[in-house]
Chain A
Amino acid sequence: MPEVALKVAMSCGGCEAAVRRVLGKLEGVESVNVDMQQQKVVVTGTASPEAVLQTVAKTGKVAIPPSST
């Protein structure tokens, strides 16, 4: 199952819940894993990195696209 990792600026539990909720609604998302310490979100599922990035961007939070290394 492909994964998309994204650095997202989240400062509290409410922000984490918001990111989880919008990604949960995105088609093709199997599971959403949020790491508050590293401010990182890992999305497993068939959703494309662009779709994941756009969805998080709509929450108004700063999201750094997945490093293409």
Chain B
Amino acid sequence: IQRKVAQMQVRGMHCSSCSSAVEKALLRLEGVHKASVSLTMEQADVEYDPDHCTPAQLEEAVTDAGFDASLLS
């Protein structure tokens, strides 16, 4: 299994349940191994398998959760 890490800026989170909702949304995606969302830094570090999902899908999962996501790296 390949592991890549994507860093995303996530705007609009106000409390810990917001960041856990984003984490849950990301972990639901096939191919996502780990998702750690930092409320204070408004950032999400996602470890995923590039064969199973793409950074665009990561962004879409976060926007589906109702937050603004923009890929950092």
Contacts and interface: CB of A to CB of B under 8 A. Distances in A.
Given A58-B25, A60-B25, A15 B17 contact: yes
Interface in B5-26: 12-15, 17-18, 20-25
A20 B65 CA distance: 11
Counting chain A residues whose Cβ lies within 8 A of the other chain, the interface size class is 10 to 19
Contact of A18 (B20, B21, B23, B24): B21
Given A22-B64, A22-B66, A15 B20 contact: no
Given A22-B65, A58-B65, A11 B15 contact: yes
Interface residues of B, number: 17
A12 B21 contact: no
Interface of B: 12-15, 17-18, 20-25, 28, 64-67
9 contacts: A11-B17, A12-B18, A13-B14, A18-B65, A18-B67, A20-B66, A21-B67, A22-B64, A60-B20
Interface in A1-48: 9, 11-15, 17-22
Contacts of A22: 64-66
